[in-house]
Structure 1
Amino acid sequence: MEFSEIVIHVIFLSQTVVGTLSNSFLVYHYVMLYFMECKLKFTDWILQHLLVANFLTLLCKGVPHTLSAFGLKDFLNDIGCKLIFYLHRIGRGVSISSTCFLSVFQAITISPKASKWTQLKVKSPRHIASCVYMSWILSFIVNIGFPMEITARQNIRNITYLMVLEYCSAPHKDKVIYILHAIFLSIPDVFFMLLMIWSSSYMVFILYKHKQRMKHIHKSNFSFRSSPEFRATKTILLLVSTFVFFYTVSCVFQVNMSLVKNPTSLRVNMASVVSAGFPTVGPILMIHCYSVNLHSVSFVRKQNIITISYQ
């Protein structure tokens, strides 16, 4: 076994373990708040959908790749291959849409009271909630073609098949058909990415304007920099930047692989490592930035309002 393969195996295992533990910790955190009868902020509700998408991505990418990396090659049948690819694509689609809605909602929340977004602040939770549910449905529909194409590796009967993973395969397509199919699948992603970049840029602009105003104020009893909105905005901007980075690198790998008829195992593995990057790193950033624990969360009880400051 080559050194590069050993490194990839260790990375697969580390991603799967760390990503599963960090996402599980956040799930446990929200479950405990639910049993404590706490009413969470709307951003937490969106983050819960993001956690579900992270689990789908990790379980459908990390676990099979880890098993494959350690020698199990033909452990999936046709149904298993179709299912993990379909669920992975759904998780990937919901991940980008949830991150986008998180950014949009926070941009609306911190917008000035005198801006045109004032009325939208009240209506945004209802509209974005509908959009989140619609993104699940859209992801189910857009990716419905994947289960029809993916087959188990042991069912390959001719060399026209393109090996997409070490444990599954897909038929080799004509370049024109492949390009059209890629464009069709990329339309929702491009839309969400542009919306995400726009809302993030707007938040940076709002924070910059506030910083400029604060330069002329020598003494103030309230600092926006120390407010929960400011910290939440910084965290969301960090999550969005991390997502854009991993998504861009993943797209580069996917385009590179599509131009090669038979991609090497190392290239396929690197693409998988990058695609699982955000579901692994994202929850760690959330835990670090929010200092999430049962004694450091701002929440509202159903009967009494209880505010506990962030550490």
Structure 2
Amino acid sequence: MNILYTMSSLKNVFYIQAGLGVLANMFLLFFYISKILGDRTKPMDLISCQLAFIHIMMILSEGDNLLANILESLKLGNDIKCKTTFYINRVMRGLSVCITCLLSVFQAVTISPSTSLLAQFKNKVKRHIIYAFFYFWSFNLSFSSRLIFYVAGFTNVSETHQMQVTKSCSLFPMNHIIRELMLTVIISRDVFLVGVMLTTSTYMVIILCRHQRQCKHLHNISHLRASPEKRATQTILLLVVFFVFMYWLDFIITFTSIMSWMYGPIVLSVQKLVMYAYPTITPLVQITSDKRIISILKNVYSKFH
């Protein structure tokens, strides 16, 4: 009885979290699309637009969510539904790490002073950002395609040694060489990208703190406390630390479950909450830190009051 109550509570929390995440990311997606279609397109808007789209698809493709229900209504079969949603979800999870890393690198290059080594890459990064998108999408689409052969509709037959990963989907056992090879590639990718994110974010914090100390002689203390540099530093630290913590917590749960070949219903529910905390929190942080969005929200609020 306690397990059923816990499952029901976790499920309700996840639906609230997923709904909030989809709405916030859709708002950002439409906002950035309107900016991209405008006269001046900023590379940062292109990155943020992709990240919002990725997070929407990531949330919708989880388990028996909206995308699964749409595929089921088309009567494509449980097996096709599971392969499609599982594949899209894995691709989007990989892209979330890649694009977040790209966002961190681009920010570091953008705010770097003209005397630094990174300054010479400012124009190059802007010109080659489309190639980076193409590479990230190609890599994740091709790499995750191998998982299609190991996921199928859950048949509840214990003899096949299936591992249930959602209500209606399961994984079949992999050859230990293939499993270790895939885990090695995933771990290497994540360690590298998270390492780059931490390095660039630390660099940005150092630059902003140095700029803040230089401005200390020109501004009084009360103005300094509310300086844009300090707010930017706090935003960077919040996003990076939160991303790294949540991503590796999700990875530990997934890795432990795959190695032990056991997924309990409570473990699945907790993993969902952990996995989708970042795509839910990220748009909220972006909305509250973007002056253009804040200005739009203020204008809308003033019209209704």
- Does TM, scored on the shorter chain, surpass 0.5? yes
The answer on 1:47 being equivalent to 2:41 is no
Check conservation: 2:24, 2:284, Cα contact below 8 A: yes
TM-fit CA distance, 1:260 = 2.8
TM-fit CA distance, 1:149 = 0.8
Counterpart-to-counterpart distance in 2, 1:257 and 1:91: 21
Q: Secondary structure at the match of 2:170?
A: strand
Q: Secondary structure at the match of 1:114?
A: coil
Check conservation: 2:83, 2:148, Cα contact below 8 A: yes
After superposition, the C-alpha distances for 1:275-304 in whole angstroms (9 at most, x for unaligned) are 11111111111112225538459xxxxxxx
1:66-215 equivalences under 5 Å are 77-154=78-155, 156=157, 158-173=159-174, 175=176, 177-215=178-216
TM-fit CA distance, 1:266 = 0.4
2:5 counterpart residue number = 3
The unaligned stretches of length 5 or more in structure 1 are: 69-74, 298-311
* Cα distance change, pair 212–230 in 1 and its aligned pair in 2 (3 A): closer
Larger helix percent: 2
Q: What fraction of aligned residue pairs are identical, expressed as a percent? A: 30
Check conservation: 1:13, 1:66, Cα contact below 8 A: no
TM-score (norm 2): 0.83
Check conservation: 1:106, 1:233, Cα contact below 8 A: no
1:23 counterpart residue number = 25
TM-fit CA distance, 1:65 = 9.0
Check conservation: 1:97, 1:132, Cα contact below 8 A: no
Check conservation: 1:101, 1:132, Cα contact below 8 A: no
Q: Secondary structure at the match of 1:154?
A: coil
Q: Secondary structure at the match of 2:60?
A: helix
Check conservation: 1:142, 1:185, Cα contact below 8 A: no
Counterpart-to-counterpart distance in 2, 1:18 and 1:11: 11
Q: Which has the higher contact order (CA 8 A, sep 6+)?
A: 1
TM-fit CA distance, 1:130 = 1.4
Deviates more, 1:121-130 or 1:132-141: 121-130
After superposition, the C-alpha distances for 1:120-148 in whole angstroms (9 at most, x for unaligned) are 11211122331122101111111111111
Counterpart-to-counterpart distance in 1, 2:247 and 2:265: 21
Partner amino acid for 2:287? I
Q: Secondary structure at the match of 1:293?
A: helix
Check conservation: 2:95, 2:137, Cα contact below 8 A: yes
Check conservation: 1:50, 1:99, Cα contact below 8 A: yes
The unaligned stretches of length 5 or more in structure 2 are: 70-75, 298-305
Counterpart-to-counterpart distance in 2, 1:43 and 1:288: 16
TM-score (norm 1): 0.81
Q: Secondary structure at the match of 2:260?
A: coil
TM-fit CA distance, 1:193 = 1.1
Question: How many residue pairs end up in the alignment?
Answer: 288
RMSD across aligned positions (CA) = 3.0
Deviates more, 1:196-205 or 1:157-166: 157-166
Deviates more, 1:132-141 or 1:120-129: 120-129
TM-fit CA distance, 1:179 = 2.7
* Cα distance change, pair 158–63 in 1 and its aligned pair in 2 (3 A): closer
Check conservation: 1:103, 1:200, Cα contact below 8 A: yes
TM-fit CA distance, 1:174 = 5.3
Partner amino acid for 2:266? L
2:302 counterpart residue number = none
Q: Secondary structure at the match of 2:261?
A: coil
TM-fit CA distance, 1:231 = 5.2
